[in-house]
């Protein structure tokens, strides 16, 4: 297995609106054309084992063969992977650590948005998904988030629920989008699996490195 560094603003797979556009999978295929000879399952082209949203930068785990991919998919499904992110918040709070275990579902009125279950009657669409997020302050408004679940927009919506909407994340109250390749600041540091199996380190963006 290998680790790729995904820049902010680059899709993991080509979007439906631009199937021939630049993406991480296309770059990997160009560098390692042998991957096209493997019968990867649908949704896991080139052996890419998981996705990051377009605005999110960071580590992407890639299998080198079908057995590796099956093992990695099993870890994801069983919740045996700890995923670590860094984000910059728009606002601030008086505490430095919190755990959120509120379920998440699709917003009833806005297709692109998720909602946190605040009570039994919280409006939503479809089923509730269990979600576990731990957030811890690194410095100032720079935070670390660890998750073992992988619900759509999990960190963004849980952070907003805590009063820590990501800077520039307009969808969840983070203010106007930022200039540059990504509208908000979210970086995937990496994954840790059973027996210490882990992604290789990738560089931190300047905003995510308090040391500089």
Give the helix ranges, DSSP H, for the chain.
24-31, 66-78, 154-161
Residues 46 and 101 in one domain: no
Does any domain span residue 70? yes
Residues 169-207 pLDDT 10s: 999 999 999 998 899 999 999 999 888 889 999 999 999
φ, ψ dihedrals at 48, nearest 5°: -65, 120
Does any domain span residue 206? no
Residues 6+ apart with CB under 8 A from 155: 85, 87, 133, 145, 147, 166, 186
Residues 157 and 92 in one domain: yes
Residues 70-91 pLDDT 10s: 999 999 888 889 999 999 999 9
Query: Would you state the pLDDT for residue 153?
Result: 95
Does any domain span residue 139? yes
Residues 95-154 pLDDT 10s: 999 999 999 999 998 989 999 999 889 999 999 999 999 999 999 999 999 999 989 999
Name the residues annotated as catalytic: 53
Instruction: Write the CATH number for 116.
Output: 3.30.2350.10
Query: Would you state the pLDDT for residue 212?
Result: 64
In terms of Cα–Cα distance, which of 27, 45, 49 is closest to 36? 45
Contact by Cβ (8 Å): 57, 188:
yes
Does any domain span residue 208? no
Host domain of residue 45: 1-78
φ, ψ dihedrals at 208, nearest 5°: -95, 0
Residues 65 and 108 in one domain: no
The number of folded domains in the chain is 2
Residues 100 and 173 in one domain: yes
Residues 190 and 85 in one domain: yes
Interatomic CA distance for residues 4 and 192, integer angstroms: 15
Q: Which residues is 137 bridged to in the sheet? A: 143
Tokens 């992604």 identify what position?
A: 199
Looking at 78, 99, 128, which one is the last position of a domain? 78
Residues 71 and 85 in one domain: no
């Amino acid at each position: 297995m290998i680790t790729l560094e995904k820049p902010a603003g680059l899709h993991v797979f080509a979007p439906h609106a631009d199937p021939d556009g630049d993406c991480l999978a296309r770059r990997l295929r160009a560098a390692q054309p042998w991957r096209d000879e493997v019968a990867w399952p649908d949704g896991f082209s080139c052996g890419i084992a998981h996705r990051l949203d377009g605005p999110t930068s960071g580590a992407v785990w890639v299998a080198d063969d079908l057995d590796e991919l099956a093992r990695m998919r099993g870890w994801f499904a069983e919740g045996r992977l700890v995923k670590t992110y860094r984000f910059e918040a728009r606002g601030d709070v008086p505490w430095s650590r919190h755990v959120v275990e509120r379920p998440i579902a699709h917003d009833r009125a806005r297709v692109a948005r998720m909602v946190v279950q605040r009570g039994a009657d919280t409006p939503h669409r479809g089923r509730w998904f269990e979600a576990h997020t731990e957030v811890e302050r690194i410095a100032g408004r720079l935070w670390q988030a660890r998750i073992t679940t992988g619900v759509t927009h999990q960190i963004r919506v849980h952070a907003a629920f805590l009063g820590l909407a990501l800077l520039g994340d307009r969808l969840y109250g983070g203010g106007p989008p930022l200039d540059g390749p990504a509208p908000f600041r979210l970086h995937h540091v990496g994954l840790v699996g059973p027996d210490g199996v882990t992604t290789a380190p990738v560089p931190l963006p300047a905003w995510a490195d308090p040391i500089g």
